[in-house]
Amino acid sequence: MRIAIYAFTGITMFHLSVPQMVFDEVARQGLAPWQTILFSDDSGPIATAEGYQITGVSGPEVASDAEVVVVPSWYDDGRPAGQDLRRLLVARHDRGATIAGLCLGTFPIADAGLLAGRKAVTHWQGFDQLTRRHPDLEIDDSVLYIDHGDVITSAGTASALDACLHMVRTRLGAAAANQVARSLVIAPHRDGGQAQYIQRPLPEQPDDDPISAVLDWAVNHLDESLSVECLAAVAHMSVRTFNRSFRSSTGATPASWVRMRRLDEARRALETTSLSIDQIAVNCGFGSVVTLRQNFAAAFQTTPTEYRRRFEARPATT
């Protein structure tokens, strides 16, 4: 798969490196022959915000056959995207490419009209400006990324890692995404959004944070009844205090966090084991196949059987 990443003068090294780091790791791990290329409005080196010169940047023509086009960030002043970039994004979208706007990269995607009437997310500091410019957008601060299938947007900075890993997961499966995440030493899947960070100081977390201990304990007991009362008892907290602390630490409710961990484990088992779907349902704490299917379909718009057919023994040709 060919992935074209847009670079511009003044982009930060971090934003430019994130999609290259994640997608190139796919090839380095031998999971699929993915290739990333950098392009800009014109060929030639660009200067980053840190003052480095990036060479090997091609002109926009190299994106003409890309299956994914990524705008990894945008100018801090949120200036409107140029006509040439907007036309390129629309042309590739119309030909079936996935368009991804990471962090402030949502701005040019919206300027190109690819988010009209849709939900989107960007860095929280850009909410007001993006809403003023595109009042038809619905900005969601409760998620790290939003995937419409053809267009993906992500929240601020590190959320770009989550969005890129999500793209690996949807194309190559959870086991491949976990392998990439392990290699990069990042979380394979994070829940929650950036609402908890908007105009709020980050709370200090003690070394013996009870919520972290509960998370570690829960992932090893997914087959058990993980009610909020049970989790609060493990943390030695009242239910009310636990709920508040859990939401503050993870950005999710205990129930939704447990459900996603169970679904993550179900996907791993479907991809890498020959266990029956009934046994997977029990092992992952869903209790019955019916409950597993209902939750699986709601989260991934497919059934466990179809998911297994798609991802088990996948050849590395994507």
Two tokens, residue 165? 């890993």
- Sequence-distant (≥ 6) Cβ neighbours of residue 228 within 8 angstroms: 239, 242, 243, 254, 255
**Three-class secondary structure of residue 219 per DSSP:** helix
Average pLDDT of the segment spanning 23-32? 96
Two tokens, residue 20? 């290259």
Q: How far is CA 196 from the centre of its chain?
A: 18
Ranges assigned E (strand) in 134-218: 138-139, 145-147, 151-154
Burial class (CB in 10 A: 0-12, 13-18, 19+), 40: buried
Q: How many other CB atoms are there within 10 angstroms of residue 229's CB atom?
A: 12
Q: What angle do CA 182, 224, 307 make, to 5 degrees?
A: 55
> What pLDDT digit, counting tens, does each position of 264-284 carry?
899 989 988 999 999 999 999
Average pLDDT of the segment spanning 303-314? 80
- Sequence-distant (≥ 6) Cβ neighbours of residue 194 within 8 angstroms: 121, 123, 124, 141, 144, 155, 156, 159
Per-residue pLDDT band for 313 (boundaries 50, 70, 90) equals: low
Amino acid identity for residue 56 in this structure: G
In the chain, the domains with their CATH numbers are: 2-184 (3.40.50.880), 203-318 (1.10.10.60)
Instruction: Please give the Cα distance from 123 to 111 (Å, whole number).
Output: 16
pTM for this prediction = 0.74
Nearest alpha carbon to residue 247 among 233, 228, 219: 228
Two tokens, residue 245? 């602390």
- Are 160 and 102 contacting, i.e. CB atoms less than 8 angstroms apart? yes
Residue 46's DSSP bridge partners are 54
Instruction: Please give the Cα distance from 272 to 265 (Å, whole number).
Output: 10
Instruction: Please give the Cα distance from 105 to 70 (Å, whole number).
Output: 8
> What pLDDT digit, counting tens, does each position of 118-158 carry?
999 999 889 999 999 999 999 987 788 999 999 999 998 88
What is the pLDDT of the chain when averaged over all its residues? 90
> What pLDDT digit, counting tens, does each position of 209-225 carry?
788 899 989 999 999 99
Instruction: Please give the Cα distance from 262 to 49 (Å, whole number).
Output: 41
What is the structure's pLDDT at 205? 46
